[in-house]
Amino acid sequence: MQILNPVKISYKNLMAAKFRSFLTILGTVIGVASVIIIMAIGQSAQELILDQVKGVGSNLIGILPGASDEEGPPAAVMGISVTTLKYEDLSALTKEKNVPEVEDAAGYVMSTVAVSQQETDLNASFTGTTADYIKVENAEIAKGRFFSENEETNLARVAVLGSNLAEDLFGSEEPLNKKIEINEHNFTVIGVFKERGSSAFGISSQDDGIFVPLRTAQKLILGINHLGFIRLKIKSADLIDSAVANAKMTLREQHDINDPINDDFTVRDMASAVEMVSDITNVLRYFLLAIGSVALIVGGVGIMNIMLITVNQRIREVGLRKSLGARNYDVMAQFLVEAATISFSGGVIGIILGVCVSFIASVIIQSLGYNWPFLISIWSVVIAVAVSILIGVVFGSYPAYKASRVSPMEALRYE
């Protein structure tokens, strides 16, 4: 009964000032909902990105220009232009005597270009690559064909379109053998990729891209002689470690590097790539979570302010209770319970709101074609409830202490 009595009194006081209680609760609702939404969307986004990385294949090795340590990403990932990878490096890596584990290999350069066809003008993601691209990426051609090694080496002006881009440029017309302009250079469309599906957060989708032979892209469109990156398809996932070692040895010979500390390239298998992406997305998630937690602190400050006002408004009530035998502990418990009740109520409502918003967001994003999972961690719910109660207790402690120190004689004389 001693425990329930402060709860009953607190409930009556909260109900007696519904609007004030609602405004106090609102701060906690927004804070908890923000945390739930950020954690849910962050986890869903991480899963989407990791699925896309894993979907590339477990038997692939990626080679990027620029050095990196074993834990951090190479400079090229951070948007820094590094020109240490060349076409000759790709050729060396495909030789069986150098890297016998390689089954297929592709080099890449990427950019954004202006594409036009008659009355249609748009910007599209652009990839210059080699003839083995469709083998490395497990891509499928829906119409026409992909370009050949001969077209790759002879600077042929041919292009293969993603399914979405083909529709944007030609609509219901047949695109094969039609002319398009890429940065004011004429190209002939020789193929259209089979639809592959949307890609995650800024990673250009094959469906929206235009693909031309690598040498043509380098010399004619971009005016460069380096590669953006290389992908090696290994004969078996069991050969990944030896392939990585042989690829590093080959590139060191190509670049006249004697000491591994001077490497100007980075070789990563897909397992390392998944781990690296996971680390990066975790940092982003925790950073966003820290920002969202600020709203919880603001809600706690709101609780403390309202409770301080409440103490001043109820000094006569406190004095009356003390004159009837209430101890300092009883008064302090009452105000602490009120603060905890406000924050707990806000936490529960915030969790419900956060889950609903996260679910609606997942439905909308899935409708846009992304494989976006709806993920709510049970721990995020438990932590949100615990933190909301803790905030109520912490920020309600000072007002509760102040109320408990009120003198009965002074309180009864208070106007």
**72, pLDDT greater than 60:** no
**Are 113 and 144 contained in the same domain?**
yes
Distance CA 111, CA 217 (A): 10
Question: Would the pLDDT of 75 be above 70?
Answer: no
User: Is 250 buried (19+), middle (13-18) or exposed (0-12) by CB count in 10 A?
Assistant: buried
Domain identity same for 240 and 92: yes
Q: How confident is the model at residue 203 (pLDDT cuts 50, 70, 90)?
A: very low
Q: Are residues 205 and 128 part of one domain?
A: yes
Regarding whether 243 and 154 lie in a shared domain, the answer is yes
Is residue 269 included in any domain, yes or no?
no
CB atoms within 10 A of CB 278: 14
pTM (predicted TM-score)? 0.58
pLDDT at 344: 81
What is the mean pLDDT of the segment spanning 201-216?
79
For residue 144, is pLDDT > 90?
Answer: yes
- List pLDDT tens digits, range 15-28: 666 676 777 778 77
> Does one domain contain both 89 and 168?
yes
How far is Cα 227 from Cα 105, in angstroms, rounded to an integer? Answer: 13
Residue 301 lies in a domain: yes
CA 228 to chain centre: 23
Same domain, 243 and 94: yes
Residue 371 contacts by C-beta under 8 Å, 6 or more apart in sequence?
Answer: 48, 51, 197, 198
> Which among 227, 205, 204 is positioned nearest to 214, based on CA atoms?
227
Would you place residue 315 in the very low, low, confident or very high pLDDT band (cuts 50, 70, 90)?
A: low
Average the pLDDT over each of 52-66, 113-127, 239-253, 344-358 and give the range with the smallest value.
52-66
Higher pLDDT, 223 or 280: 223
Specify the pLDDT at position 8.
63
Percent of the chain with pLDDT over 90: 31
Q: What tokens appear for 258 in the block?
A: 């004697």
Alpha carbon of residue 293 to chain centroid: 18
**Residue 358, pLDDT above cutoff 90:** no
pLDDT value at residue 222: 92
259 SS3 class: coil
pLDDT-based confidence at residue 202 (cuts at 50, 70, 90): very low
On whether residue 75 sits in a domain, the answer given is no
Work out the average pLDDT over 253-281.
80
Average pLDDT, the chain: 80
- Residue 169: pLDDT band (50, 70, 90) is very high
Residues 287 and 386 both lie in one domain: yes
Q: Which residue, 228, 303, 304, 326, is CA-closest to 9?
A: 326
| Predicted confidence band of residue 69 (pLDDT cuts 50, 70, 90) | low
pLDDT for residue 225 is more than 80: yes
Per-residue pLDDT at 327 exceeds 80: no
377 and 331 in a common domain: yes
Q: Tell which wins on pLDDT, 350 or 7.
A: 350
CA distance 100 to 96: 4
Which one of 102-106, 328-332, 400-404 scores highest in mean pLDDT? 102-106
Residue 106 has pLDDT above 90, yes or no: yes
Do the Cβ atoms of 168 and 179 come closer than 8 Å? no
* Residue 169: domain span: 83-263
Whether the per-residue pLDDT at 408 is higher than 70: the answer is no
- For the chain, the domain total comes to 2
Domain boundary, last residue among 212, 236, 263: 263
Give the rounded percent of residues in the chain with a pLDDT score beyond 70: 77
Res 80: pLDDT: 58
Residue 4 has pLDDT above 50, yes or no: no
Residue 326 shares a structural domain with residue 207? no
DSSP 3-state assignment of 246? helix
DSSP code per residue over 132-194: THHHHTT--EEEE-PPPHHHHHTT--EEEE-HHHHHHHHTTS--TT-EEEETTEEEEEEEEEP
Residue with tokens 């584990």: 101
